[in-house]
Chains A and B, each alone.
Chain A
Amino acid sequence: MSFDDAYEALTDHADDSRWAYGTGFADPLAGVDTAVPDGADRAELAAYCLMLGDDALIMSHRLQQWVTRLPELEDELAIANIALDLLGQARLLFARAAEVEGAGRDEDAYAFLRAEGEFRNVRLTERADADFAHLVARLLAFATWRLALLDRLTASADPVLAAVAAKGVKEVTYHRDYAAQWVVRLGDGTGLSHERMQAATDAVTPLLAELFVPHETELRLVRAGVAVDPAATREEFDDVWARVLAAATLRPFPPAASAGEAPAEAGPEAGPAGGLEAGADGGLDGGLGAGPARGLDGGLGAGPAGGLGAGLGAGLGAGLGAGADAGAGGRHGVHTAAMAEILAELQGVARSVPGGVW
């Protein structure tokens, strides 16, 4: 095999690994300083890690539920990959929370042994998708928001969060790209696909306002240079969301989602914006814009505590359905009715076989 030698001049690697698939894996946290940064409260840093981790865990679970139900084999893999990426992010964040908290809990304890009210994920992540269009609309919203968040988090004073964010940015960039491609493909597709994609993005918009409302823990950690203020991601989110929807020939940014900032304008805007579609659509927008969004402002102004409990969460979920964005949100542990169903499945084995190992 002496003629193989000619290739050696072209590579600086003497080993065989250049021919091997699946080599060269790297640990994203290798060499990262794990000290808690000055000015950050340990309990609050742990809580913040759980917020970002819970978003990833619950979104991942919802995506996993799609596997074997997707329209094409190739998309099964795509969604499974995205779900696994998010699960990986959740694990790293839970591990950081455990390390910072120092109370002997591990990743599994956070995922499987917490009650609904202790989860801090935003409610966008727990919504069930009615169809594939709803899935990609929700994924686009989630990935766009999370990418804006993680991108800023790479500058965090906590070196572990910064490293987790740097790894996540590459992953979520692809998630956003995947979702955006489908939203454009379906929105700018046939009459039927356009109609269903529009219904899907409309259904997601009432869940968006919550993404940009900072929790008091987040605000305190922002001051310590550790966390990202979710309100700061709003501009980037609106810009990306509007551009993808425009490319998809979908109705521009529906007024319901921006009503949190200017509720008085939500009603009048709904008419013209929805003018391309039948009257029923415009009416729906007007309703969403005027109702829950105003409720959100009022609710936040009153400063509801996390202690409002699961009763309120269940009530909100059942009463508002898709538009559950009134009052305290997932960051306070207040979830929609869907959350109980998710946890029953997610924690099912851990509950029936406590401490089981195999």
Chain B
Amino acid sequence: MTDEIRHEWPLYEVFVRAKRGLNHVHVGSLRAADHEMALHHARDLYTRRNEGVSIWVVRSDDVAASSPGDKEAFFAPSGDKMYRHPTYYAIPDSVPHI
């Protein structure tokens, strides 16, 4: 085997929308040669127990992710701002349907 074929398929992230779920949820990753194959593989790996009705795949290197080093600056500031939750406010009895 002089012309041995070496390859490593790129990594894809898989998002599945559950049968009656509202949004696509990240369920894992897989390797595939292209988007078409990634969808096939995602179907075979992540929906074989009747989990989903819709699949998204995206190349892992196309995902821009926040860095763990930014954690303080990114997320800590929202930790003490209770008033951003609607439940922070008392709703007057005169406001219906909430």
Contacts and interface: CB of A to CB of B under 8 A. Distances in A.
A binds B: yes
Interface of A: 2-3, 7, 10-11, 13, 17-25, 72-75, 77-78, 81, 174, 177-178, 181, 185, 190, 192
Which 4 pairs from chain A and chain B are nearest by CB? A18-B20, A74-B41, A22-B49, A21-B51
A17 B85 contact: no
B69 interface: no
B81 to A, nearest CB: 15
Interface of B: 3, 5, 9, 18-22, 30-33, 36-37, 40-41, 43-45, 48-51, 85-87
B86 A74 contact: no
Contacts of B3: 192
A28 B22 CA distance: 27
A61 B98 CA distance: 58
A2 B87 contact: yes
A78 B49 contact: no
Given A7-B22, A72-B31, A23 B50 contact: yes
Interface of chain A, main secondary structure: helix
21 contacts: A3-B85, A10-B22, A17-B20, A18-B18, A19-B18, A19-B20, A21-B49, A21-B50, A22-B49, A24-B19, A25-B50, A72-B9, A74-B31, A74-B41, A78-B41, A78-B44, A81-B44, A81-B48, A174-B43, A192-B3, A192-B5
Contacts, number: 61
Contact of A77 (B9, B22, B37, B45): B45
A11 B20 contact: yes
A184 to B, nearest CB: 10
B85 A22 contact: no
A77 B44 contact: yes
Contact of A22 (B9, B22, B37, B51): B51
B40 A178 contact: yes
A174 B39 CA distance: 12
Contacts of B19: 18, 23-24
A81 B44 CA distance: 7
B20 A74 contact: no
Contacts of B22: 7, 10-11, 18
A22 B45 CA distance: 13
Contact of B33 (A18, A20, A185): A185
Nearest to A177: B40
Contacts of A190: 5
Given A3-B86, A22-B50, A74-B31, 20 more contacts: A10-B22, A13-B20, A18-B18, A18-B19, A19-B18, A19-B20, A20-B18, A21-B49, A22-B49, A22-B51, A23-B19, A23-B50, A24-B50, A75-B41, A81-B44, A178-B40, A181-B40, A185-B33, A192-B3, A192-B5
A16 B2 CA distance: 58
A78 B40 contact: yes
